[in-house]
Amino acid sequence: MDLYEYQGKDLFRRVGIPVSEGRLATTPEEARQAAEELGGPVVVKAQVLTGGRGKAGGVKLASDPADAEAKARDILGLDINGHVVRTLWIEQASDIEREYYLSVTFDRGAKKPLFMFTTQGGVEIEQVAEESPDALVRLHVDPLEGFQPWVARRLVYGGGVEDPSEQKQIAAIVGQLYRAFVEFDAMLCEINPLIVTPDGEVKALDSKFTVDDSGLFRHPDVAEWRDPTAADPIETFAREKHVTYVKLDGDVGVLANGAGLGMSTVDVVAHAGGRPANFCDLGGGGSAEGVVDALEVITRDEQVRSIFFNIFGGITRCDEVARGILAALDRLDMSKYPIVVRLDGTNAEEGRQILAEAGRENIHPEATMLDGARRAVELAGTA
Amino acid sequence: MAIILDNDTRLVVAGLTGSEGRFHGLRNRAYGTNLVAGVTPGKGGQDVEGVPIFDTVAEAVDGAGANTSLIFVPARFAVDAIYEAVDAGIDTVICITEHIPAHDMLRAYRYFRGQGTTMIGPNCPGVLSPGKANAGIIPAEIFSEGGVGLVSRSGTLTYQIGHELTQLGLGNSTIVGIGGDPVVGSSFVDVIEKFEADEQTELIVLVGEIGGDEEEKAAAYVAEHVTKPVLAYIAGFSAPPGKTMGHAGAIISGSSGTAQGKKEALEARGIEVGTTPTEVAQMVASRLK
Ligand SMILES: Nc1ncnc2c1ncn2[C@@H]1O[C@H](COP(=O)(O)OP(=O)(O)O)[C@@H](O)[C@H]1O
Ligand SMILES: [Mg+2]
């Protein structure tokens, strides 16, 4: 789960990382009021789950409350990489002497947390890595050893920070960031920029924070921060129904049991010349009720013209899936969708028989995954 | 011979008294697996269809000679069950449980690797050595005994490919589901190393998917260390970046972990990659005929 900047900064604050004071606003009037409360110049910042907001015009300096209101009006509703701005974070403007970069990520390849630090902050880290790799210090932490002060020293000295007060402040932030990373089950904690003010004060001006979904049960307050309006509406609906679903951009609805088979089915539909509308994993259980829910989700997508069920029964029983399909046909209006069904594995014969006996016109049985995909693609073209 | 599981396997199921553990544990026994014990704290002394239950894994090792642990306990307790099995001296730990926090696995990984335990999973379907033993949820009836070693990050996709192989008259030495999480106990490389050393295995099939770089590492390893033919399949060519595709580990981050990148890495090392599961099975058949 990705957090908004203001949410990440809330977690930063909890572990002691210095951040600026700020307020949330969803209207220009609220932005003006926030600026009044904060006093002095503020920065109006779009809260969207994507980077590069500054470049896209989503981060603007405002000299006074009236200006904050005007800037808020400009930014609200802006589309930044496909994310529409609905919320703003208004925070005290800082004077910036230097911009650094600090992050810790979950390096699954090395199976260790990875720190990255550079004094060339404020730009995308990929750019630094490419153009001046020597300026970027990378350091893995042993997860059993945990954070030790030497890690911070390696980063700070290695990065070429010379001022002793700066060294001390950054070293403290490195330790605090690691604490946030572990304590909140993070996959990524990034501060870009980590600034030094003209008075020599170091603070986090931005936050990028991703929390492991599997760890969310330990952080119910963070789990509640999920913004259902940020995701695709059909994906949000799927989440409510506990259906594993990812929207794609085609017209062949795809259902399979299991993530790997689901991805493979999407690929095979594309290979057959079609355009898959979605990825959908019925999961291990695959109860009739789950099938109805999944079909309800998939048919919310108005682009869908045909549906391909690709089931390989293991724990999932094909007779149960067949019953689910028939139940969905009774309960939802599915008459306009040709449904191609391929059943194999546990109780496949029973499943096929159940469908055959029901004698529904829009059900098209196919024996193999490849033939099923071809048929669904063909039917999407003619439907 | 097969790998990981064979006729010497003595299985203990953590969570045998729960509904999942009971269903699959007894299915594994019906297949012929030597299921010697179950572990459920507080239920020691009871039995499940004649299988003795112990309070701790250590007691199951002492009292029943268990050497392989199959874990079916809920995510919040699963890491504890992994450590318990490792510390009780179990040789092989297979964890089916999904949704274990990634940080917990990161620490556990560092620990059990240091102890020399073989760990499979989590978030995996288990391991099957046809004709010998089955530990987990793989439907054994689809597979037959033979010379193809199959290693995969996915369950049902493995069944699909196994089924296609069976239809072509080909069997398997061992099927290993290594799991769909970002951090799993055994990588492709770990399992391929075992297949290379296994007499029964004539050919290895690697079934990968988007996310991480384990397929790329496997490609490099195969080029350096493996004499047996290796074929591959990769799922997720149509997956958009930044989206978790069912498995916690199946996610393209930025431009890394794409199916295309993995395919190219494998092909660069001379490993053929099939376009569909069917094609992979046909490629195996033509190599082994
Ligand atoms: N509170 C602030 N005071 C002064 N400048 C700021 C403040 N917040 C952001 N900025 C400036 O705007 C730039 C972009 O903001 P940032 O939060 O990093 O968004 P993004 O990374 O999405 O572009 C920063 O590099 C910094 O120069
Ligand atoms: Mg930034």
Tell me whether residue A183 is one of the annotated catalytic residues.
no
Asked if A214's CB is within 8 angstroms of B102's CB, the reply is yes
Domains of chain A by residue range:
21-92, 98-223, 231-382
Q: Which residues pair with A98 in a beta bridge?
A: A196
Report pTM: 0.94
CA contacts within 13 A on the Cβ side of B210 = 30
Rounded Cα distance between B32 and B61, Å, is: 20
Task: Say if residues A263 and B247 touch (Cβ distance below 8 Å).
Answer: no
pLDDT the model gives residue A310 = 96
Q: Counting Cβ atoms within 10 Å, is residue B238 exposed (0-12), middle (13-18) or buried (19+)? A: buried
| CB-side neighbour CA atoms (13 Å) of B139 | 22
In terms of CA atoms, which chain B residue is nearest residue A145? B107
Average pLDDT score over residue span A148-174 = 97
Here the tokens at position B232 are 């591959």
Chain B nearest-CA residue for A183: B103
**pLDDT-derived band at B254, boundaries 50, 70, 90:** confident
CA–CA separation, A309 and A302 (whole Å): 18
Tens digit of each residue's pLDDT (9 = 90 or more) over A312-331: 988 788 999 999 999 999 99
For the stretch B160-192, pLDDT in tens is: 999 999 999 999 999 999 999 999 999 999 999
Q: What is the pLDDT of residues B265-282, one digit of tens each?
A: 999 999 999 999 999 999
Q: What class is the A21-92 domain?
A: alpha beta
**What atom in ligand 1 is closest to the CA of residue A206?**
17
Residues 203-232 of B with CB under 8 A from A: 207, 209-214, 217
**Residues of A with CB below 8 A from B217's CB?**
109
How much helix, strand and coil, in percent to the nearest 5, is found in chain B?
A: 35, 25, 40
Quick one: CA torsion of A370, A372, A375, A379, rounded to 10 degrees?
Answer: -140
Of A304, A285, A273, A244, which Cα lies nearest the Cα of A375? A273
**ipTM computed for the complex:** 0.94
- As a whole number of Å, the end-to-end CA separation of chain A is 37
Percentage of residues in chain A with pLDDT exceeding 90? 88
- Residues, Cβ < 5 Å to ion ligand 2: A 192, 206
What the block records as the tokens of B142 is: 């689809």
A interface test, pick of B157, B238, B276 with most A CB neighbours within 10 Å? B238
The full set of domains in chain B, from first to last, is 10-120 (3.40.50.720), 143-288 (3.40.50.261)
With a cut of 70, say whether residue A285 has pLDDT above it: no
User: B197: which 2 tokens?
Assistant: 């050393």
Which CATH number is A98-223 given? 3.30.470.20
d(C-alpha A214, C-alpha B103), whole Å: 10
**B126 Rama class: left (phi>0) / alpha (psi -120 to 50) / beta:** left
Q: What is the mean pLDDT of chain A?
A: 95
Pairing of strands B172-177, B145-152: parallel
CATH number for the domain whose boundaries are A231-382: 3.40.50.261
How far apart, in Å, are the Cα atoms of B262 and each of A279, B223, B233? 20, 15, 10
Specify the long-range contacts of residues A179-183, CB closer than 8 Å, at least 24 apart.
A179/A15, A179/A147, A180/A11, A180/A12, A180/A14, A180/A15, A180/A17, A180/A209, A181/A104, A181/A113, A182/A146, A182/B103, A183/A15
Residue type, B16: L
